[in-house]
Amino acid sequence: MSRPSWDEYFMGIAFQVAKRSTCNRAHVGAIIVKDRRILTTGYNGAPAGLPHCDDVGHLMVDGHCVRTLHAEQNAIIQAALHGVSVKGGTMYVTHQPCLTCAKMIINAGIVRVVYAGDYPDENSRAFLAEAGVKLEHFPWPPDQEEGEA
C-alpha cells in the first residue's frame, strides 16, 4: 500500500464527511484546507435546528430539494461562524459545485477546487475560470495498485 497524495488524502476525508449528509438525494461532503491543514468541513443538510430531509422528506422546487444547504455552503458558513479565514484555501468536494456555490467560493477567496463527481453546470465552470479559481477533477476512487482489492 502506497502513501496517499495530499489530494487523495483530503478527498478521502471529504467522502467521509459526506456520510453525515441528511438529504438522501445526494450525499455531498466538502472540506476547506490551507497549508495542508483542515479549516472546516461541511455536508449537505438542513439549517441548524430545522428538520432534515431524512426525517420529514424533501422540499422540492423546480426539481431541487431546497430544504438543505449545500456542503460547500456549510463549509464556508462554518468558517464565518468561527472566524476562520479561508482566503487562499483549497476546497475538496465530492461533487462539482453548482453556480451558487461557485459564487460563494469566489467571494470567500478560495483559490482551488478539487472535485470528484461531475455536476452538469457549465456556468459554474465558467464563473470559476473567469475568477481565476482552479477547478480540478479528481476521479474517485483513485486507481488501485495491482494486487489490491
CB-CB neighbours of 114 under 10 Å: 20
The residues, ordered by sequence, that sit 6+ positions from 28 with a Cβ below 8 Å of its Cβ are 18, 21, 43, 44, 70, 71, 93, 94, 95
Residues marked as catalytic: 72
Largest CA distance in the chain: 47
